[in-house]
Amino acid sequence: MMRRVANIAVLLVAAFLCYGMQTTTPHYADLTAPIPVYGKIQDTILTRTFDIAVDKVVFARTLKFDQFGKQNLLTSGGVWAIVTARLDAADRSAMVAAATWQGPDRLNYRTSERASSAAGALPIALDPGVPGRTRLVFEILPSQVSGATLLVSGKLAGPLDSEARIALGSVATQPNGLPEGVTETYELGDTF
Amino acid sequence: MFGGVRSKLKAWIVGGIGTIAALAVGGALGAFDAIQKPAVVLEPGQPVETGPWVVRPLRAYTVDKGVYGLPLKAGEKALVFEAEMTNRTAISSKNYFTTFQSTGGTDEKPFVVLVRDSTMSPALQPGLPERMAYVWGLPAGAAPPDRFVLAVNGEIYKQRDNLYGAPGWYNEHVIGTVAMAVGTGPDTPDAKP
């Protein structure tokens, strides 16, 4: 009798262990996720291949820029966020290819393809000792403005490579939901 | 001796019952799979959730001149279908090329254009509704249809897919069809819900 009870107990423990191991197995996407390097706005963040320091973040209702010799006015159902940042290669020539605006609700906004032909858009090639700059343009929901994180990586899909995660801090909002200090039209000029 | 035969018979009968039960269950499951589900007819102007998108079919019309920055040669015609699309996922996406499929009478693949500023197939941002135009070329000499029937496709979310273990949207399937009245020219009004 005791022996039978002991057998059943061993069986239950084994089943419990197996179930525990199954549910705690890390997700493959997590195992191969980018390796975060955390920082905040104005900090210089050192990733494996490049350094980045965010200068400022500006919000605008519309964007104006020249495309193929024609003036373009880009409207949006949300709001435009324009991030300018300084870049530097770490120790050899490098690329910066992808940036994502991650809102407080974990919504991920890739840089807008509508403004991808403006000066300073990704991808950007960097050489050591030559300071580089980028201007990242995101089209986001007004609710994702405050408390956002900027993710910048060297490749479009960069498993197991470092990724800068820059806390952009909180932004005051107007009663109409738009961020404080939003400009009506931002001109994406050749210099920035 | 007879005891041996009896127990053998019993074993055969029990085994047979098990086999028959397994066959019945398998057959029933197969039959359920094979049942033709009735085609769902969707209304123009009504929002439809396809999984990654909420779409609202708005209008369809033919053009014989270029539209939304797409050039059209003299004598060519194109069928334009417009819908409002909202990205329900958490990341910018352009996974919309097969969301609407023509059920015949047009070229196979459409051009997809953002109506707002005629950008060719941009990624749409989470939570921001945008009006998109799907433009199908019409074969030379073909008369445009009175009603344009589109298949609306959806996908399901998988936490991990079978090949890479990566999360994503898979298993595209037809949600229903929507029949749009085809107008002439870009002044065609939107379908009212």
Give residue A12's pLDDT band: very low, low, confident or very high (50, 70, 90).
very high
A-chain residues near B91 (CB < 8 A): 100, 107-108, 110
Q: What is the rounded average pLDDT of the residues B15-22?
A: 88
A-chain residues near B88 (CB < 8 A): none
With the C-alpha atoms ordered A159, A162, A163, A165, is the resulting torsion angle positive or negative? positive
CA torsion, ordered A164, A134, A122, B114, to nearest 10 deg: 110
pLDDT in tens, A76-116: 999 999 999 999 999 999 999 999 999 999 999 999 999 98
**Mutation site for A-interface testing, chosen from B68, B84, B92, B159 by largest number of A Cβ within 10 Å:** B92
Amino acid sitting at position B130: E
Q: Which residue has the higher pLDDT, A27 or B91?
A: B91
- Model ipTM value: 0.85
Share of chain B above pLDDT 70, in %: 98
Question: Is residue A77 less than 8 Å (CB to CB) from chain B?
Answer: yes
B-chain residues near A67 (CB < 8 A): none
* pLDDT score, position B162: 86
Closest residue by Cα to residue B64 from B80, B49, B53, B75: B75
- B121 pLDDT higher than 80: yes
A32-36, A100-104, A125-129, B138-142: range with lowest mean pLDDT: B138-142
Give residue B3's pLDDT band: very low, low, confident or very high (50, 70, 90).
low
In chain B, helix, strand, coil percent, each to 5? 15, 40, 45
Give residue B1's pLDDT band: very low, low, confident or very high (50, 70, 90).
low
Q: Taking the CA of residue B189 as centre, how many other CA atoms within 13 Å lie in the half-sphere pointing to its CB?
A: 3
pLDDT in tens, B22-62: 899 888 888 877 777 777 899 999 999 999 999 999 999 99
When the pLDDT of each residue in chain B is averaged and rounded to a whole number, the result is 89
d(CA A117, CA A65): 9
Domains of chain A and any CATH numbers: 31-187 (2.60.40.1240)
pTM: 0.84
